[in-house]
Amino acid sequence: MSAVATAVVHDTSVLTGRSLRHILRSPDTIITTAVTPVALMLLFVYVFGGAINTGGGSYIDYMLPGILLITVASGIAYTSYRLFLDLQGGIVERFQSMPIARSSVLWAHALTSLVANITALVIVVGVALLMGFRSGAGVGEWLAVAGILVLFTLALTWVAVIAGLTATTVDGASAFSYPLIFLPFISSAFVPTDTMPAPVAWFAENQPVTPIVETIRALLGGTPVAGDIWIALAWMVGILVAAFFGAMAIYRRRTR
């Protein structure tokens, strides 16, 4: 590893440790992130679940993949919020006056988001198991689900970084996440798309959430994964690459 790469890794680890310590002092952010999806699970399973026909099987098994995506979508709002506060408080400018890699500031926020969201996802899965969720997946399938959720989290996290860099108010820094939280509701996350009106069904079948949900659902159900996995990966990698380079370009303009 080159000296430059070593410096970036070291600086990023130090700044990530700083951000994680802030979360440990205020664990309510992770709890809050998990509260909304858990409340939705309770609502859909115990209130609406009996009226929704998914073609057989437990409704919580059907809807958990969508809940996991909502967990991530709600959690990344804190990433843009924390980055915005660092920018407004002058912390980022102070870091820039030190001999550290410039990109390590953003990477620290991204990795902190990953750790916080994974923790929230574990809480949500734990509650789902208590509510009756059961999976026929093996170790390989669970690892594949974990990989998809990590990739999804990183993709949305870099979108959140852009929001944090461009926001002008605290509310604006986190408001971008609301459409992302709403998007799974217009997908196959909670009901089959063939039950929707034709225009809504077309949108649901051609937006990024549906192939991701279908892939996770197949993996957790221990059933063969269709071509949805390649569409899901294409969406996530495309969003990740575009958001990463966009965030870096905006960051360079703001800190030069």
Most confident region among 94-98, 170-174, 186-190 by mean pLDDT: 186-190
Please state the domain count of the chain.
1
- First-residue to last-residue Cα distance in the chain: 27
Res. 85: pLDDT tops 60: yes
Angstrom distances, CA of residue 140 to CA of 78, 90, 145, 219, 225: 31, 45, 9, 9, 13
Q: Which residue has the tokens 């980022």?
A: 92
Res. 1: pLDDT tops 60: no
Whether 62 and 145 have beta carbons less than 8 Å apart is answered as no
Most confident region among 2-6, 9-13, 181-185 by mean pLDDT: 181-185
Q: What residue type is 151 in one-letter code?
A: L
Torsion angle (degrees, nearest 10) of CA 165, 171, 172, 175 = 110
Spatial neighbors of 191 by CB under 8 A, at least 6 apart, are 52, 54
Res. 54: pLDDT tops 90: no
With bands split at pLDDT 50, 70 and 90, how would you rate the model's confidence at 8?
low
Number of CB atoms found within 10 A of residue 255's CB: 14
In the chain, what is the greatest distance between 2 CA atoms, to the nearest angstrom? 60
Res. 4: pLDDT tops 80: no
Q: What average pLDDT does range 86-114 have in this prediction? A: 74
Res. 208: pLDDT tops 90: yes
DSSP state of 193: G
Domain limits for position 7: 3-255
Please state the pTM of the whole predicted model: 0.89
Q: 169, exposed or middle or buried, with CB in 10 Å at 0-12, 13-18, 19+? A: exposed
Q: What average pLDDT does range 122-129 have in this prediction? A: 94
- The pair phi, psi for residue 168, each rounded to 5°, is -110, -10
Q: 225, exposed or middle or buried, with CB in 10 Å at 0-12, 13-18, 19+? A: middle
With bands split at pLDDT 50, 70 and 90, how would you rate the model's confidence at 200?
very high
